[in-house]
Structure 1
Amino acid sequence: MSVYVAHRLFAAHDRALAADLADRLATKVGLNRVFLPFCDTDEEDLVAEVKGRRLFELDRERLGRLDAMVAILHGPSLDDGVCMEIGYAAASGIPVILLTTDFQTYSLTESGPRLEFPDPLLQAVATRIVRVATLETPTLPSAPPHSRFLDFQARNTAQTSTALDATVDALLALPDRAPRLPSSPAAIGTPVYVEASPYTTWGRDHLSKTCVDAGHTVVVPQRFAAPDPVAGALADLTAVCSAARLLADVSGPETPPGTALLIGAAAASGIRIAAFQPRPTFTHAHGREPNWRNLMIQYAADAHLDNSDAILSWLAA
């Protein structure tokens, strides 16, 4: 069994948590059967002319030969690189386990169905969700007594350890791989799937109108208005994997999680992808070229567009 551990890379505590999970997995499936990004691509010592692109290529190569993925996700702002990797795995028929210790749940309306994550696509593609949302019970007073802060830390550490052990158990109990999502070569008249960003004011109509005015049929997301958001999310995923193109607005502090997941699914399915972002924010890491988005999003996209004329040129190509 080859396992990919997907996690947020950009803070030490996130990398440490993922390393703890990878080590626990390795004791069960073998050290060489667990892939931990950043650790196993050795970013700090990697030498490449375009380092970010090379990291993307190394990770995508591993995504193409997996048996399972475990992804760590916390909070309402989910890491866009992780979500892209989840979409890639799901479209390839790879089982995905999602781990969270988030004590919140989410809904698209005040009284709507409760979701484990803010976008129903995450719940729709998960083979299993491991959610440990409560702290461990307080310990009895010790002698000498600890401060209340150390006791609180211990409760959080115990919660995390429980979640990691439950994730390992879930991985070992996984069913066989699911079939790859259906996709087919795009025919004349095959629609463009347009995914808007919830962070922008122009929304769906701005991008869709540009495509329609250019003579293209447009498909837009169903999951946010569907009575059953998870069923709507699965319909969106199927629509993307059978579209001619994906036009995705990646604006925001990060690419919205569902959008990132759809980009990953489209990349795995050979769908042409354009990322629309009129006002980019660049990120910088030692030895790496400036990136206008998470490198898994940036290099999965065939084009980076910033205005209507650029959209029209991409549609005509």
Structure 2
Amino acid sequence: MTISKHIYFAGPMFAQSDLRYNDHLVKQIRALSTELTVYLPQENEAINDKSAYADSKMVALADTEEVLKSDLMVAVLDGITIDAGVASEIGVAYAKGIPVIALYSDTRQQGADNPQKLEALSTPAENQFHYLNLYTVGLVKLNGQVVATEEALLEAIKQALLERRD
């Protein structure tokens, strides 16, 4: 018996680099299993063809419907801040008990045990690390996990889908 799994992919999608990275990650996720369907919002031209028109309600309804159909959400947290749409989608997933696996690959995480970097925290404007909104991160961790590499992301997805199969 084949068990279909639906994954919602939440990521920033307004720069070409975002679109390409999302596409890159989704190709890897889709390659994990033929049982997977992955909703990548940028592929939904009805609401995300930026030369056309979709109002806020159309976008909210289309993406929320897909979140609610999902067995799992994959969310990219990278960027200057967590993308506002991604944060909203994480909130919907949390409220509905949909597990979230988030990728946070910011290189400023490295060196967390470096004494100079830690000492710099006490000097104004010398934070060597990146800050993420703790509320949004907390929602992820309450019903999922944050990983730091693409490899860890793919492994976590495989594990989550195995657990959901039981």
What TM-score, normalized by structure 1, do the two folds share? 0.39
**C-alpha RMSD over aligned residues:** 2.9
The answer as to whether partners of 2:82 and 2:133 remain within 8 angstroms in 1 is: no
| 1:117/1:67 CA distance change after superposition, 3 Å | farther
**Alpha-carbon distance, 1:9 to partner:** 1.1
Q: Which residue of 2 aligns with 1:30?
A: 34
In the other structure, the counterpart of 1:125 is 139
How far apart are the structure 2 equivalents of 1:55 and 1:22?
21
Partner of residue 159, structure 2: 173
Aligned mate of 1:16, from 15, 20, 43: 20
Q: Which residue of 1 aligns with 2:118?
A: none
For the structure 1 residues 38 and 117, does the alpha-carbon distance in structure 2 shift closer, same or farther, using more than 3 Å as the test? same
Q: Offset at 1:46?
A: 8.5
Distance 1:117 1:45, change over 3 A: closer
2:70 matched to which residue of 1?
66
Q: CA shift at 1:67, angstroms? A: 0.3
Q: 1:93 aligns with which of 80, 85, 97?
A: 97
Query: Which 4+ runs in 1 deviate beyond 4 A?
Result: 45-48
For 1:124 and 1:64, the matched residues in 2 are separated by: 20
Instruction: Tell me, in whole angstroms, the C-alpha distance in 1 between the residues paired with 2:33 and 2:44.
Output: 17
Q: Is the 8 A contact 1:67 1:95 kept in 2?
A: yes
Contact kept, 8 Å, 1:117 with 1:123, in 2: the verdict is no
**Which is richer in helix?**
2
TM-score scaled by length of structure 2:
0.71
Shift of 1:75: 4.0
Alignment-derived partner of residue 158 in structure 1 = none
Query: Is residue 81 of structure 2 the alignment partner of residue 77 of structure 1?
Result: yes
CA contact (8 A) 2:101 2:156 kept: yes
For 1:24, give the aligned amino acid: Q
Q: Does the CA-based 8 Å contact 1:41-1:58 persist in structure 2?
A: no
Query: Secondary structure, in 3 states, of the residue corresponding to 1:104?
Result: helix
Query: Counterparts of 1:54 and 1:75 in 2: how far apart (Å)?
Result: 26
Deviation at 1:165, TM superposition (A): 2.9
The Cα shift of 1:176 comes to 3.8
Paired-residue identity, %: 27
State the 1:31 CA deviation. Answer: 7.8
Cα offset, 1:169, TM superposition: 1.2
Deviates more, 1:91-100 or 1:31-40: 31-40
- For residue 104 of structure 1, report the CA deviation from its aligned partner: 2.9
Structure 2 distance, partners of 1:41, 1:83, is 22
Counterparts in 2 of 1:130 and 1:70: CA distance versus 1, 3 Å: same
Which runs of 5 or more structure 2 residues have no equivalent in the other structure?
A: 113-120, 123-128
